[in-house]
Structure 1
């Protein structure tokens, strides 16, 4: 009987320990119809060269601001792919929808293209129930440089990481629309 006691104790302890499931998140892109694009010299082109994120956002974990000076990086709620890549891919998709007459790509498109670079300073949840999307974008358009800053704080409709990711995606889509408006104003 005594030789089974350590086994029973180990089983009891392992039953009490909690195992956290890891969850992976991908930014959703608004549904759109399939489009075939070809390079046309008369068609405006936008090269989304780079979207950069600060170090605290460059890891795998989603970020949550717990006070005015404290941030927590989730250990079990992770981005499915690097955040900078997701931001660039969704920006290309969102700009393609917002600028239907333009060719938007994450690859160089030739010599007659606008070049867009975005530097993120915030893309996280906040203790007051808001999702924060902030940074600036720089567009090179026919030798002219345009720089604009942005800051959004959108309220989450529900609690939890799923709602946070959806709200962040909604804010990123809003910012893509603002970028598209800025690009249109130059043409």
Structure 2
């Protein structure tokens, strides 16, 4: 009887130890990041032409909610605990519109899935994202192609390729990656503003 009781206590203790070890080995809870403009600067502009930033075309490998790091030039690593807080196509459109409001004398709005595009925009901006990631060598890369379209939305009046690279990112620092990508989107906004 005593042996049986001892055996049960040991089995319960062993099961409890395995359970606690399994809980301790879990991945960290996900952290969520927003693309945000740098502190300071101007807010929304008053006056000037209206600009609508269309839904951003995002390559399939980026159309996920995880932040991305590219290793060895072509291996994509998705961060398991670092995620975008909003769909990337919406976040980039929002950031570019905010950037245009800060750097150009325009009234910019951006794509949202719940609202139709404004019918009275002077211009619209179409962005095709190509790269938006950190690398294992510490670089942060934004590559895109954009077009500024006339009010009718079909006649391009300007367009070009854009690339921004920053070095010094520490791989694994996803808060830093989100901040640096946000800064690169502000550079893209400045380039688009020069085309208006």
Q: Name the TM-score class by shorter chain.
A: 0.7 to 0.9
Alignment of 1:163-174 (within 5 A): 163-174=176-187
SS in 2 for 1:121: strand
TM-score normalised to the size of structure 2? Answer: 0.81
- Structure 1 equivalent of residue 161 of structure 2: 149
Which has the larger Rg? 2
What stretches of structure 2 of length at least 5 have no aligned partner?
1-5, 112-116
- Cα distance in 2 for partners of 1:84, 1:148 equals 19
Instruction: Indicate conservation of the 8 Å contact 1:88/1:106, yes or no.
Output: yes
Cα displacement (A) at 1:33? 5.3
- Counting matched residue pairs gives 178
User: 1:48-91: CA deviations, max 9, x gaps?
Assistant: 12212111111111111011121111222111111111111111
Q: Give the 4+ runs in structure 1 shifted more than 4 A.
A: 32-37
Q: Distance in 2 between matches of 1:134 and 1:84?
A: 14
**For 1:1-187, what aligned pairs fall within 5 Å after superposition?**
1-17=6-22, 18-20=25-27, 21-31=29-39, 32=41, 35=44, 37=46, 43-99=48-104, 101-106=105-110, 108-111=117-120, 113-141=122-150, 143-159=155-171, 160-183=173-196
The normalised TM-score by structure 1 is: 0.85
CA RMSD across the alignment: 2.1
